[in-house]
Amino acid sequence: MIAEMGQLALLLALGVALVQGSVPIVGAARNRAAWMSLARPAAQTQCLLVVLSFACLTASFVQNDFSVLYVAQNSNSALPLAYRVAAVWGGHEGSLLLWILMLSGWTVAVANFSRHLPAPFIARILGVMGWISVGFLLFTLITSNPFERLLPAAADGRDLNPLLQDPGMVIHPPMLYMGYVGFSVAFAFAIAALIGGNLDATWARWTRPWTTAAWCFLTIGIALGSWWAYYELGWGGWWFWDPVENSSFMPWLVGTALIHSLAVTEKRGAFKAWTVLLAIMAFSLSLLGTFLVRSGVLTSVHAFATDPRRGLFILALLVVAIGGSLALYAWRAPKVGVGSRFELVSRESMLLGNNVMLVVAMGTVLLGTLYPLVLDALGLGKISVGPPYFDNVFVPIMTPIIFLMGVAPLARWRETALPDLARRLRWAAGLTVIAALLTGWLAGRISPLATLGFGMAWWIVFSLATDLLERLRPAEGRSVGARVRMVPRAMVGMMVAHLGIATFAFGVSMVNTFGIERDLKMKPGDRTEMAGYVFTYRGVRDVQGPNYIAAQGLVEVTRDGRAVATMKPEKRVYRVQQNPMTEAAIDTGFTRDLYVSLGEAVEGGAWIVRVYFKPFVVWIWGGCVLMALGGALAASDRRYRGARREATTGAGMARATAGAS
């Protein structure tokens, strides 16, 4: 009964989405206020219905209703409650429902927080988002209905994929989807502006906080996925250039470019067509990511989500959404003005340079991800492009990006003098070289690649410091405290986010160059020593979990004779699905992680044990958190709220004038 209610709610949501997609847009074209005003209530109703539907599916999971096929496939009566709830998005159908839930949530957020926008504009935005919703609701209802019944009901479920039975995996998909779907807002703003012909600085200012917010979620989502891969897959790696990871990284790269391009469009009115294109691209790549993950055209470690039959529908959706919006772009963008001029050396040109490089980076990831597919489509055989390709192409692309990242914030808009810039940054440049070499020396070895990495990290830090000092240097009799208060929050956000990149680059360089990995055959009592830590293997015992049995190893770690940690890596076998799972034991520290995971049992009571030393590995995710924090600061800048107040008073004044005349 509950499942049928969920299904009905979803069908009704489709009806409402159709209304939301059509009536307000026609109303905006014909200037009918009543038709346009339908957008908000439609968005709210649709959201309510989707929430209801999602709640129904969750209830089916909580109650162990194995007469629902999706529940039977992804849950089990022995599964703990928290994972039964998380299992809602553990499979394809539920992930889609989550996608739709997020979309309707973002739509309502736009509807409620954009009261200051002109009625035709908001009508078009909500209309476009309505159409996206129609597409995904149709996809769900036609090819991937989560409420399908299984009659007779299964006695018990097939259990949630053990890989997903993990706290990190509970929040990773929602965060990632919040990011993916969040770019639909920027997309809708862009399409609405293309239709309405009001692409200007105001449009950019309205779009900015939404884009930054979506980008924050995506950043956190990707970081969580990487962290999960690190501790759950048992290989100690944090990024595998896997197609699924790539498809979340591509929108991130373009989203990063979009954030910066929007800044230029808002401040200088330049790059309008380019910004719109980026907004379309960011969301298109989110859709493409969904296609790649869901259609099964690429094999990946995440292949549990694949189904070729659904591919065709997503491809059709992709062609309509992306093809349609790019056609609209080709038709309308030439009419957009070019904005104010700028010189070759200026903040605009540097931001444009970084923009282009980020898009090139995205292109190389796209190429590496799709290359195997393209070769296969051309009948040239099956190959796999692994991390070597990405590692080789990525460093040369990131180096100029990071260099410009340090320079651009100090450059002036429109035109800046190169000698002046060089003079202001000479201290930063010198300190960077010294610090990079010193870091390598302190870590024990100076290697070219690591020095480059440290150089990037320190360059960001020192150029940021230069920027900050110039801003805070007392001038015109103002105290430092007053100057601090004058730095806008968006600027602080930018600095924090850039510091996040530095932290990230530092962590990556440390782990890649100074990490130690050892796979050993160990018998109880065996020991190994790395980076001053002594790992003593004490043996393996059997333990019982709620829905699994495990072999639990015991490894004691000491340093200079003092106990540092007792590590208990596990090799689990989940009862229902029977596949073995590695549960690594990790001792996390600010400057290093100790990582132990169990491999296979070998003869004579010995085990293959993987012992890793990972210096500064948490800085990788710490950097991501800083980036997201910076984004959150920037998105919550008073200026965007101030703009609303301004707009309201503006409208009030307009009314007052109209009343007076």
Element (H, E) at 612: strand 607-615
Q: Assess 365 for contact with other proteins (CB under 8 A).
A: no
Judged by CB under 8 A, the stretch of 43-51, 54-62, 305-313, 530-538 that binds other proteins is 305-313
Task: Name every residue whose Cβ is closer than 8 Å to that of residue 213 and which is 6 or more positions away in sequence.
Answer: 182, 631, 632, 635
Residue 589 makes contact with other proteins by CB under 8 A = no
SS3 (DSSP) at 126: helix
Task: Decide: 53 and 94 in contact? Cβ < 8 Å.
Answer: no
Paired strand residues for 359: none
Residues in the chain: 661
DSSP state of 154: P
Six-digit token string for 616: 């500064």
Give me the least distance between CB of 368 and other proteins, in Å please: 14
Find the binder of other proteins among 158, 424, 568, 644 (CB under 8 A): 158
Sign of the alpha-carbon dihedral angle for 504, 241, 276, 347:
positive
Among 43, 71, 550, 576, binds other proteins (CB under 8 A): 576
Q: Which of 51, 318, 551, 625 binds other proteins (CB under 8 A)?
A: 318
* Helix residue ranges, H only, 296-417: 308-318, 324-332, 347-377, 387-407
CB of 291 to other proteins, least distance (A): 7
Q: Which of 143, 140, 118, 282 is nearest to 202 (CA)?
A: 118
Q: How far is the CB of 324 from other proteins (least distance, A)?
A: 10
Scanning 214-222, 292-300, 473-481, 507-515 for contacts with other proteins by CB under 8 A, the matching segment is 292-300
Asked if 265 contacts 413 with a C-beta cutoff of 8 angstroms, the reply is: no
Other CB atoms within 10 Å distance of the CB of residue 168? 16
578 is an interface residue for other proteins by CB under 8 A: yes
The least CB distance from residue 236 to other proteins, in Å, is 23
Applying CB under 8 A, which of residues 1, 81, 334, 562 lies at the interface with other proteins?
Answer: 334
Q: How far is the CB of 179 from other proteins (least distance, A)?
A: 22
Find the binder of other proteins among 41, 323, 605, 642 (CB under 8 A): 323
Nearer to other proteins, 260 or 310 (CB): 310
Q: Which of 55, 59, 373, 530 binds other proteins (CB under 8 A)?
A: 373
Q: Which is nearer to other proteins, 57 or 69 (CB)?
A: 69
Task: State how far the Cα of 134 lies from the Cα of 104, in Å rounded to an integer.
Answer: 11
Q: Does 14 bind other proteins (CB under 8 A)?
A: no
Q: Is 327 in the site for other proteins (CB under 8 A)?
A: yes
Is residue 153 within the footprint of other proteins (CB under 8 A)?
no
Contact between 562 and other proteins by CB under 8 A: the answer reads no
273 lies in the binding site for other proteins (CB under 8 A): yes
Identity at 630, one-letter amino acid code? G
Per-residue binding string, other proteins, 61-100, x by CB under 8 A, is: ------------x---------------------------
Q: Please give the residues from 177 up to 236 whose contact with other proteins meets the rule CB under 8 A.
A: none
For position 329 contacting other proteins by CB under 8 A, the verdict is yes
Single out the residue of 369, 94, 412 nearest to residue 241, CA to CA: 369
Size of the site for other proteins (CB under 8 A): 37
The CA-atom distances, in angstroms, between 129 and each of 21, 190, 274, 507 are 7, 11, 22, 39
102-141 footprint of other proteins as x/- string (CB under 8 A): ----------------------------------------
- Per-residue interface string for the shown chain with other proteins, residues 453-482, x marking contact by CB under 8 A: ------------------------------
Q: Which residue has the tokens 């970084």?
A: 354
Q: Which of 404, 297, 389 is nearest to 356 (CA)?
A: 404
DSSP annotation of 321 reads I
Among 331, 341, 523, 646, which residue interacts with other proteins (rule: CB under 8 A)?
Answer: 331
Among 112, 299, 392, 566, binds other proteins (CB under 8 A): 299
Range in contact with other proteins (rule: CB under 8 A) among 50-58, 432-440, 575-583, 648-656? 575-583
Tell me if 284 contacts other proteins by CB under 8 A.
yes
With the C-alpha atoms ordered 297, 319, 321, 135, is the resulting torsion angle positive or negative?
Answer: negative
| Three-state SS annotation for 338-367 | CCCCCCCCCHHHHHHHHHHHHHHHHHHHHH
The owner of tokens 């169990």 is 598
User: Which DSSP category does 505 fall into?
Assistant: H
Stretch of 45-53, 196-204, 320-328, 537-545 lying at the interface with other proteins (CB under 8 A) = 320-328
Q: Does residue 152 have a cis peptide bond before it, meaning omega lies within 30 degrees of 0?
A: yes
Q: How far is the CB of 413 from other proteins (least distance, A)?
A: 26
- DSSP letter for 496, please: H
Select from 47, 39, 36, 41 the least CA-distant residue to 12.
47
Half-sphere exposure of 608 (CA within 13 A, CB side): 9
Of the candidate residues 143, 184, 248, 295, the single one contacting other proteins (CB under 8 A):
295
Q: Out of 1, 81, 330, 475, name the contact with other proteins by CB under 8 A.
A: 330
Stretch that binds other proteins, among 14-22, 48-56, 297-305, 564-572 (CB under 8 A): 297-305
Task: Kindly state whether residue 577 participates in binding other proteins, applying the rule CB under 8 A.
Answer: yes
Decide if residue 429 touches other proteins (CB under 8 A).
no
CA distances from 345 to 95, 373, 420 (A): 47, 41, 11
Closer CB to other proteins, 121 or 274, in the complex? 274
Stretch binding other proteins (CB under 8 A), from 462-470, 574-582, 611-619, 635-643: 574-582
Say how far apart CA 29 and CA 36 lie, in whole Å: 9
Q: Does 322 bind other proteins (CB under 8 A)?
A: yes
623-634 CB burial, b ≥16 within 10 A, e <16: bbbbbbbbbbbb
Residue 370 interacts with other proteins (CB under 8 A): yes or no:
yes
35 CB neighbour count, 10 Å cutoff: 18
Which residues of the chain form contacts with other proteins (CB under 8 A)? 73, 158, 273, 277, 280-281, 284, 291, 295-299, 308, 311-312, 315, 318-319, 322-323, 326-327, 329-331, 333-334, 370, 373-374, 376-377, 382, 576-578
